[in-house]
Structure 1
Amino acid sequence: MVFGILSLAATVPLLATSTVQLQQTAQETKDGNGSNIGSTKTNKCHLNVVPSPRERSDVKSALKDRRLILKDGFVKLSAQAEKDSPFHPVTAYFLPFPNAGYDGLVTTIDAMNMLNWLYIDSTSYRVTYGTRAQTENHLTGPMGLTLMADGSSKVTMDGWDGYMAVEGEDGEWSLYFDKDSNGLAGKIDENKTKRTAQIELHRDMLE
């Protein structure tokens, strides 16, 4: 039996080398402002964490020089200035999410360039990754970009950059999306949380 790329993606990780048709479709998509940015959306990138200018100085210092990694089944923040992390860095680009009419965000998950979808758990709002089947009933998009005056770009979800970093009692920072715009009220255990911070995800483009 022959499976198309989209149906295959529902059950197993994609091979990065198997996504040419999806990338060609993505290159034709437009962002919310109607600008054709497909040529940049299909470029691989790491995602750097940039704290909101409104955050306290201690939080800004704690989040400096961190990027997103895959660890323990979730998307977390690397150690500071960690260039050779033992954990796989989020290496992402945009692809049309199957049967959804919008772009999702995929990441390689290993050195073999297998791909998973990044998604937001619909109950906890924690950002994680998995196969198409694992994303069922969770939030997968629309994922987009905001292009900034200096030529850099940041990743958005449903038109805005409501990402938050949450520091657990073990000192690790995890990635969440503040879907309800209320500081993740009711979504995190305050007794097990040291600090939270509003952040942006800036693309660090790869050659």
Structure 2
Amino acid sequence: MVDFIMGIGLSLPIVMSTGIAAVTGVSQGVSEQHKQNADAANTTRMLKFHIDTCIDPADRKGTAAVLHDGIVTLYDDKLWVEAKSPDTGWPVNDKHHPFTGFYIAYPDDNRPTTRGLVSTITVDPPMLNWTYIDKDTSELKYANRSGSIEHHVGSWDWTSEDNDSSITFDEWEGFMAVEEKPGEWALYFDLNDDGLKKHKKGRKTVEVTLNRRVITGQEVNKWGLKEEGNIGFKSTREV
């Protein structure tokens, strides 16, 4: 694995010490690196995917109707849910970039190996950012490594090995959509499992399921990733 992948800052742990401390440090470093290598070698986790959304039938009314069979997009440094074209499977608003990403270990020597989640944020030039949960607001956001590292960056996973399985964070599905403006729904994560009591601020909230939709071929290329290889292109800046 190269020291950087698409600029997302993947680095290998380096231990410099002596005696028993050195042996212990090296052992821990090797163990963590084995975990990272195993995850990177899991081609299933490296499959690129969009994120579709689903909500309970009882909530599929009014402005919340867009949340069922919608698509997750990235703009203004946050993740949103909006209408999906039934013909293309892409956002109706073609100015908004659909989530197009995959799982990969987050590079941070100061925390246990954590599975991160990256997405392209632009097509030309192609750039990847980390998806994270803001530690203060519980919003789902995206940023480069320096912008994400102080927040909740993982562990991201899925509910099953099926291609259309649901996304999880910290081993559960606690995602909610908040109507920040009429018809504009931002994604949050209910970290305290209290219905976003601190953050809803009188706004409408709806529980939402995030489903992986694996993508291939020209569709992958259209949104800034290439089908072959782990990533498919070099970084244009730190991510």
TM-score, normalised by the number of residues in structure 1: 0.77
Select which of 90, 94, 111 maps to 1:85.
Answer: 94
Q: Identify unmatched segments of 5+ residues in structure 1.
A: 11-23, 31-36
SS of structure 1 residue aligned to 2:98? coil
Q: RMSD of the TM alignment (CA)?
A: 2.8
Select which of 71, 76, 80 maps to 2:75.
Answer: 71
Q: Report the AA paired with residue 156 of structure 2.
A: M
Q: Indicate yes or no: 2:185 matched with 1:182.
A: no
Deviations 1:148-181 (A, max 9, x none): 7x75211110000110011123320000000111
Match of residue 197 from structure 1: 206
Q: How big is the shift at 1:25?
A: 7.1
Distance (whole Å) between structure 2 residues aligned to residue 25 and residue 107 of structure 1: 22
Shift >4 Å, 4+ stretches: 24-27
Q: Is the 8 A contact 2:60 2:67 kept in 1?
A: no
Q: Give 1:37-56 correspondences, 5 Å limit.
A: 38-52=42-56, 55-56=58-59
Distance (whole Å) between structure 1 residues aligned to residue 163 and residue 185 of structure 2: 28
Change (3 A) 1:199 1:26: farther
Q: Report the AA paired with residue 166 of structure 1.
A: V
Q: Report the AA paired with residue 8 of structure 2.
A: A
Change (3 A) 1:86 1:180: same
Structure (1 or 2) with the greater strand fraction: 1
Match of residue 4 from structure 2: 5
Change (3 A) 1:164 1:92: same
Q: Is the 8 A contact 1:47 1:202 kept in 2?
A: yes
Select which of 134, 138, 142 maps to 2:155.
Answer: 142
Q: Report the AA paired with residue 175 of structure 2.
A: Y
Match of residue 21 from structure 1: none
Q: Give 1:96-107 correspondences, 5 Å limit.
A: 96-99=105-108, 100=111, 101-107=113-119
Q: How many residues align structurally?
A: 181
SS of structure 2 residue aligned to 1:185? coil
TM-score, normalised by the number of residues in structure 2: 0.67
Q: How big is the shift at 1:67?
A: 0.6
Distance (whole Å) between structure 2 residues aligned to residue 52 and residue 180 of structure 1: 21
Distance (whole Å) between structure 1 residues aligned to residue 52 and residue 37 of structure 2: 23
Identity %: 29
SS of structure 2 residue aligned to 1:42? coil
